[in-house]
A and B are shown apart, each in its own frame.
Chain A
Amino acid sequence: MIIIKPKTEFVVTVEAELTPDLAEKDVGEIKKFKVYYGKDVVELGELFEITKEGDDKKLVLDGDFSRVKWVGCRMSDGEIVVKGSVGANCGAYMAGGKIVIEGDADDWLGAEMKDGEIVVKGDAANLVGCAYYGDATGMSGGKITIEGNAGNYIGEKMAGGEIEIKGNAGDFIGTEMKGGTIVIHGNCGFVGGDMKAGEIKIGGEFELMPTFVKQEDAWVGDVNVKGEGVVRRL
């Protein structure tokens, strides 16, 4: 297990593609891991204190990582625990393993995620599990759980996996969704625009697009794309 702790408050954000793979290296090597700090490429050890405890494939990010982006990007196994909040693109393209964020997550959490698990104890911002601009498919597998609230644009172009939000969410849930499940326990705004397939379950209030057809216990749509997406009450 590796414990990574910021040494100072950062002047600008840091881009650090930290994955549990780091835990398999020795401390000297980890300190040399390259991260982006504004226009400078610096060594991880310059900005963070690094300590190693035991051999399990796990990172503990101890402190405020809300200004650190791309944490857990493309990780495929192992575990990351963020003691505080985390910056944008956390868990992007993730293929396996687990990320636990004890604070809040910024935009693009689990974007285009393929497998694995992300748990946010606090809130998440916008664009959870979405596709990056120009790409056809968002999250396609794995699970994202947000215990607090989430922002706008949740699971756009999502093709598989599950997003569960225990609190409320914003607008545009499951836009152009083509598979997978979104569960929102609280309220949310617009739901299901151009949804092709998949399922959205909502506990609280929501605004469904006017292009869904009511069936027994659910709405099916979006008719504009001959969709078979299902929206129902939780």
Chain B
Amino acid sequence: MHHALHIKNGIVIDPKNGVKAEKMDIFVKDGKIVEESEVKGEDVKVIDASNKLVVAGGVDMHAHIAGSKINTGRTMRPEEMRVVRNIANKFRAAVGRVLLTSPAIGYEYAKMGYTSSFEAAQPPIGAMHTHEELDAIPMIDKAALPVFGNWHFVFKYVEAKDIEKLKTFIAWALERTKGFGVKVVNPGGVEAWMYGGNVTSLDDQVPGFNVTPREIITSLIKAVEELKLNHSVHLHCNRLGVPGNYETTIETIKLAGGFSNDARQVLHVTHVQFNAYAGDSWRTVSSGAEEIAKTMNSMDNVTIDMGQPIFGHATAMTGDAPFQFTLHKLTGARWSNKDSEVEGGAGIVPLVYLPKNPVHALQWAIGLELGLLIDSDKVVLTTDYPNGGPFTEYPYVMAMLMSKKMREGELEKVSPFVQKATNLPAIDTEKTLEEIIHMTRSLPARILGLPQKGHLGVGADADIAIYDLNPLEIDTSNDFEKVYKAFKTAEYTIKSGRILAKNGELVDECWGKTYWVDATGRVDMEAIKPDLEDYFKYYSVELQNYGVEEEWLKKPERIVI
């Protein structure tokens, strides 16, 4: 195997390093991007990338790829598993329509030129399960975000206004779960669900605790910022999936107002499409995207991702257990629920997005509105896989954001409801190729706080995608079909300097790292010990048996802060 590569004559787009479609060569050694001089005298494999687009490997900052939720989804939906993607040979058997098996997840990302993906909701007590599944995904680097927003310890420290202990608890929890950052799902609402309810505003009191969602969110932001974690609070807002929720979303976004961080946002709001509905019922529902975009564009410390629905099959799986039950009531579909000790819950419900269904078409349009109206430095492209649909259709979203003409064609196929309930038809914005590359690479890497990802500067990880697309010639407004096709299947996907896939064919298998953040050096771990020992009486496992040791993981990568 060559440990050095020379990618020759490619047209490079590398937003982080200010490279806008320039013809240049990229050199790789020992899994990193290096200067040309470094590969002198090495056994170098040359890849001719003439007239091809060369970019960093894609970074998916929010997907549900591992753990008890997706696995329950697979179990619930054998009909999803009948699509055969690879027959066992040199590579593993890989199956799945939208829900994929672990090998299939790795393979499909690799074929598309994506090289990192973050599991966006890890139930803390189920951490080991999440890691076992992450360890079963080949090809990509990964990490998991444990969920904090309904954890009784968090309620107690927020109630006591004890930010120091909250920080310590976060450090403890990240270490125990081998987690990467702080995910918050419907803060307080899932605890209310344990009594059959939900919260309806930022100021509802959480049953059994003297705290509100507002206090939970701001305290967690404060704690995370004081700890200086790589990634900010990653928030799934309250009132998801409810008409009129966009106002709560805007109110939530504004909570970041009092905080700042030089390197990144202080709050990432996820799959905002599901939280961008105006109106007061499903009959009067309309888009709240424009108002959210206004707020977003006026703030410089908040980012979002789209949560774009893709027409076709999907499976809703979130830590937002009350929402999942509402969805089950709405559609009558199968429903799984997981109340988890004193940590929160989750739910799983199959669904299908139909273009002629007014609400589905509205959701589809809102996702695109958010992508188009919000500054490209603040919005990441996601489908919230598999909630909005497959990640394998990112190229569709990319092409749509770049082409009004494509959107016009697609708008003709969907329910006319979107014409009056959204502004999508009137939006002329066409994102540039640079913007799209930023939204799928350098921006998510920056949001996550991974300086070695999402770009092609010297020292970066040699995660590279080469696409059959010449940025100097392509007319992205009109040649959207070509754009879609090119991004669907990378000509080359290179991960840590190894060629994994070529024109949609797998050529090599590798096992990526699992990042986790160790902040225990920033806090006094003894401070919360008595609290842990006391409150663990409400667990069904012993404190000493709780959590994941590094040596149980395949390729852990500890980031010490």
Contacts and interface: CB of A to CB of B under 8 A. Distances in A.
Interface residues of A, number: 4
Interface in A94-124: none
B505 interface: no
A176 to B, nearest CB: 12
Interface stretch (B34-42, B75-83, B227-235, B381-389): B75-83
Contacts of B80: 134
Interface in B60-98: 77-80
Nearest to B76: A134
Contacts of A134: 77-80
Nearest to B350: A134
Nearest to B81: A134
B101 to A, nearest CB: 15
B264 to A, nearest CB: 42
A132 B78 CA distance: 9
Nearest to B334: A134
Contacts, number: 8
A133 B77 CA distance: 8
B329 to A, nearest CB: 15
Contacts of B79: 132-135
A134 B73 CA distance: 12
Interface in A105-161: 132-135
A133 B80 CA distance: 11
A133 B79 CA distance: 7
A134 B78 CA distance: 6
Candidate in A132, A133, A134, A135 with the most chain B CB atoms within 10 angstroms: A134
Contacts of A135: 79
A56 B515 CA distance: 66
A134 B80 CA distance: 8
Nearest to A136: B79
Contacts of B78: 133-134
A44 B77 CA distance: 34
A165 to B, nearest CB: 28
Contacts of B77: 134
A19 B490 CA distance: 40
A171 B29 CA distance: 67
Interface string A66-81: 0000000000000000
Contacts of A133: 78-79
B102 to A, nearest CB: 20
Interface string B387-423: 0000000000000000000000000000000000000
A134 to B, nearest CB: 3
Nearest to A131: B79
A134 B77 CA distance: 6
Nearest to B82: A134
A135 B80 CA distance: 10
A32 B541 CA distance: 60
A135 B78 CA distance: 9
A132 B79 CA distance: 9
Nearest to A133: B78
Nearest to A225: B332
Interface in B31-49: none
A169 B377 CA distance: 66
A92 to B, nearest CB: 13
A135 B77 CA distance: 9
A134 B99 CA distance: 13
B502 to A, nearest CB: 27
Nearest to B78: A134
A133 to B, nearest CB: 5
8 contacts: A132-B79, A133-B78, A133-B79, A134-B77, A134-B78, A134-B79, A134-B80, A135-B79
Interface of A: 132-135
Interface of B: 77-80
Given A134-B77, A135-B79, 6 more contacts: A132-B79, A133-B78, A133-B79, A134-B78, A134-B79, A134-B80
Ranked 3 nearest A-B pairs via Cβ: A134-B79, A134-B78, A133-B78
